[in-house]
Amino acid sequence: MRTGKEKVSRIPLAPVLLAFSLAAGNVFLAPAAYALSELHKIPGQANDAPAAPGSAQGQSQPQGGATPNVPMADPLVKSQNNQSVDKTPGAEENNFKPVEVIYDISKAPEPVRKMREQIVEAAASGDLERLRPLMGTGTDQTQVTVGEPTDDPIGTLKDLSGDPDGDEILAIMLDIVSTGFVHVGQGTADDMYVWPYFAEKDLKSLTPPERVELLRIVTAGDLSDMQEFGGYNFYRLGITPDGKWKFFTAGD
């Protein structure tokens, strides 16, 4: 009868040592695997142990508290660019400068407001002749054609109208001064309040509401032609800060 001691002595030594070493290895490897996946749950290690450069832990904590995998931007550069460059597409290449569109007529000087009101009243009357006293004479006469001045601005406007009485041109004039306007040439000889604001804006950058507003004045075909041309070329009206009606012309 063999004893237990004799049974043990007959077990080959090499396999025993190999099994022991594998078991010992599992004991020492287990904590390492646990540390990679559950490190944040082990007190004293998640915050105290420094992360190795390029490790998964180091990558999950970007500088500045930014969202992982999102590149950091330079807000100072972007802010400066936004202030110095017109955001509208194509504005720089077409030489359009940023403009402030004004809808509140009270922001214009009193002489400008008064002249606009007189133009509106005259145009709404349906009598083209009521515009004549507002147009001045000589060098101060309102310009109604591009190029050489005309001796009879009222007669010229009647000829430009699609009807014999000039009603169409009066309707266009009312539509023009009913839009927003811009103040251009401040501090220069060309200081002017101009209607509509489209005359100073890149038409390719118009918002949907602005396109609708422009289409109250021109047709969709006209708008397409203007965009291809590179700017607004329908009627525009200008009043100087001291209340002189400077022009009502069509063209660039």
Both structure tokens of 48:
């105290």
Q: What is the mean pLDDT of residues 94-99?
A: 68
The answer for residues whose C-beta is within 8 angstroms of residue 156's C-beta and 6 or more apart is: 144, 145, 150
Residue 39 · residue 57 · CB < 8 Å: yes
Q: Which residue has the tokens 């009243």?
A: 121
Tell me if residue 148 falls in helix, strand or coil.
Answer: coil
pLDDT at 95: 60
pTM over 0.85: no
Query: Is it the case that residue 235 has pLDDT exceeding 60?
Result: yes
pLDDT tens track for 124-160: 999 999 999 999 998 899 999 887 778 899 999 999 9
Question: Of 250, 242, 244, 238, nearest to 133 (Cα)?
Answer: 244
Amino acid in the structure at residue 160: L
pLDDT tens track for 18-74: 444 444 444 444 444 444 334 344 344 444 444 444 444 444 444 444 433 333 333
* Residue 2 or residue 218, greater confidence: 218
Instruction: Name the strands in the sheet holding 245-249, side by side, starting at the edge strand that comes first in the sequence.
Output: 182-184, 192-195, 236-239, 245-249
Q: How far apart are CA 40 and CA 46, in angstroms?
A: 5
Q: How far apart are CA 236 and CA 245, in angstroms?
A: 12
Query: Is it the case that residue 8 has pLDDT exceeding 80?
Result: no
pLDDT at 99: 83
Q: How far apart are CA 247 and CA 199, in angstroms?
A: 13
Q: How far apart are CA 236 and CA 250, in angstroms?
A: 6
* Cα 192–Cα 128–Cα 165 angle in degrees, nearest 5: 130
pLDDT tens track for 72-84: 333 333 333 333 2
Question: Of 70, 59, 127, 91, nearest to 206 (Cα)?
Answer: 91
Percent of the chain with pLDDT over 70: 62
pLDDT tens track for 178-207: 999 999 999 899 999 999 999 999 998 899
Residue 196 · residue 176 · CB < 8 Å: yes
